[in-house]
A and B are shown apart, each in its own frame.
Chain A
Amino acid sequence: MRSHSRTSGFSQMAVRILLGGFVLVPVGAVAALSLRSPLSLRVTDLAGAMEQFLSWGQYRNILFHSPEYWVCFWNTLFLLVPAMLLTILFATLAAYGLCCGRRTRGQAAAVMLYILLSLLPMQILLVPNFVALSAMGLIGSRLSVILVCSFSPYYVYFMFRICRQIPSEIFEAARMEGAGELKIYRSIAMPQMKSGIWLLVLIGSADLWNMVEQPLVFIQTPSKYPLTVFLRNMDNSAGYAGSIVFSLPVMLLFLLCGRDAAEQIELL
Chain B
Amino acid sequence: MTRRKLWLFIVSVLLLITVCTAVSFKNYTAGLNRVSVSSTASNQIHAKADSNGIFLFSDIQKLPLPTDCRVEEVMVSVGENFEEGQPLVRLNPDDAAILYYQLLLQRRTLEEQLNQTDEIRRELAVHSLSRLEEQTAFLSALQQNEGVIYAEFPGQVTELNVIPGDVTTARSSLSYGNLKGEGYFEWYVDSRQYRAFTGTTAEGDGFSLNLKISSRLYLEDKKLYRYVSKPVPLESVPDPVHGMYTAIQMQYFSDDYAAVLPKSCIETDADGGNYVYLLRERDGVLGTENYVQRIGVTILEEDNINAAVMKPLENLVIHSARPPQDLEKVLVIEE
From A70, A221, A259, give the contact of B20 (CB < 8 A). A70
A230 partner residues in chain B, CB cutoff 8 A: 285
How close is A265's CB to chain B, nearest CB, in angstroms? 15
Question: Are the C-beta atoms of B27 and A70 separated by less than 8 Å?
Answer: no
Question: Are the C-beta atoms of B5 and A256 separated by less than 8 Å?
Answer: yes
Question: Are the C-beta atoms of B6 and A256 separated by less than 8 Å?
Answer: yes
From A64, A69, A249, A259, give the contact of B1 (CB < 8 A). A259
B31 partner residues in chain A, CB cutoff 8 A: 65
Q: A256-B1, A259-B1 are in contact. Are A71 and B20 (CB under 8 A)?
A: no
Residue-wise, chain B 8-45 has the 8 Å CB interface mask toward A (1 for contact) of 01000100010011011101100100000000000000
Question: Are the C-beta atoms of B28 and A65 separated by less than 8 Å?
Answer: yes
Question: Are the C-beta atoms of A221 and B24 separated by less than 8 Å?
Answer: no
CA distance A69 to B27 in the complex (A): 13
CA distance A235 to B118 in the complex (A): 112
Q: A222-B285, A256-B1, A260-B1 are in contact. Are A67 and B28 (CB under 8 A)?
A: yes
Let me know if B284 is at the binding interface, CB within 8 A.
yes
A133 partner residues in chain B, CB cutoff 8 A: none
Interface residues of A in 219-268 (CB under 8 A from B): 221-223, 225, 230, 249, 252-253, 256-257, 259-260
How close is A207's CB to chain B, nearest CB, in angstroms? 18
CA distance A65 to B1 in the complex (A): 35
Question: Are the C-beta atoms of B9 and A256 separated by less than 8 Å?
Answer: yes
Let me know if A90 is at the binding interface, CB within 8 A.
no
How many interface residues does B have (CB within 8 Å)?
19
B284 partner residues in chain A, CB cutoff 8 A: 68, 222-223
Question: Are the C-beta atoms of A65 and B27 separated by less than 8 Å?
Answer: yes
How close is B242's CB to chain A, nearest CB, in angstroms? 73
Question: Are the C-beta atoms of A68 and B286 separated by less than 8 Å?
Answer: yes
In the complex formed, the residue of B with least CB distance to A73 is: B17
Residue-wise, chain A 68-110 has the 8 Å CB interface mask toward B (1 for contact) of 1111111000000000000000000000000000000000000
How close is A193's CB to chain B, nearest CB, in angstroms? 15
Question: Are the C-beta atoms of A67 and B21 separated by less than 8 Å?
Answer: yes
Question: Are the C-beta atoms of B27 and A64 separated by less than 8 Å?
Answer: yes
CA distance A146 to B283 in the complex (A): 22
Let me know if B238 is at the binding interface, CB within 8 A.
no
From A222, A252, A256, A259, give the contact of B283 (CB < 8 A). A222
Let me know if B272 is at the binding interface, CB within 8 A.
no
Let me know if B323 is at the binding interface, CB within 8 A.
no
How close is A88's CB to chain B, nearest CB, in angstroms? 15
Question: Are the C-beta atoms of B9 and A253 separated by less than 8 Å?
Answer: yes
Residue-wise, chain A 141-158 has the 8 Å CB interface mask toward B (1 for contact) of 000000000000000000
Question: Are the C-beta atoms of B17 and A225 separated by less than 8 Å?
Answer: no
CA distance A70 to B285 in the complex (A): 10
Question: Are the C-beta atoms of A67 and B24 separated by less than 8 Å?
Answer: yes
Let me know if B287 is at the binding interface, CB within 8 A.
yes
From B13, B24, B285, B287, give the contact of A225 (CB < 8 A). B285
Q: A64-B27, A70-B21 are in contact. Are A249 and B285 (CB under 8 A)?
A: no
A256 partner residues in chain B, CB cutoff 8 A: 1, 5-6, 9
In the complex formed, the residue of B with least CB distance to A249 is: B13
CA distance A223 to B288 in the complex (A): 8
Residue-wise, chain B 125-157 has the 8 Å CB interface mask toward A (1 for contact) of 000000000000000000000000000000000
How close is A5's CB to chain B, nearest CB, in angstroms? 37
CA distance A192 to B13 in the complex (A): 29
Question: Are the C-beta atoms of B24 and A63 separated by less than 8 Å?
Answer: yes
Residue-wise, chain A 193-236 has the 8 Å CB interface mask toward B (1 for contact) of 00000000000000000000000000001110100001000000
CA distance A236 to B6 in the complex (A): 33
Question: Are the C-beta atoms of B287 and A64 separated by less than 8 Å?
Answer: no
Let me know if A168 is at the binding interface, CB within 8 A.
no
Question: Are the C-beta atoms of A257 and B24 separated by less than 8 Å?
Answer: no
Question: Are the C-beta atoms of B21 and A68 separated by less than 8 Å?
Answer: no
In the complex formed, the residue of A with least CB distance to B25 is: A67
Interface residues of A in 19-45 (CB under 8 A from B): none
From B5, B24, B25, residue with most partner A Cβ within 10 Å: B24
Interchain Cβ contacts under 8 Å between A and B, 10 examples: A63-B20, A63-B23, A64-B20, A65-B24, A69-B24, A71-B21, A71-B285, A222-B283, A223-B286, A257-B6
Give me the interface of A with B, judged by CB distance under 8 Å. 63-74, 221-223, 225, 230, 249, 252-253, 256-257, 259-260
Shortest Cβ-Cβ A-B pairs, 9 listed: A70-B21, A68-B285, A67-B24, A67-B25, A67-B28, A64-B23, A65-B27, A223-B287, A222-B285
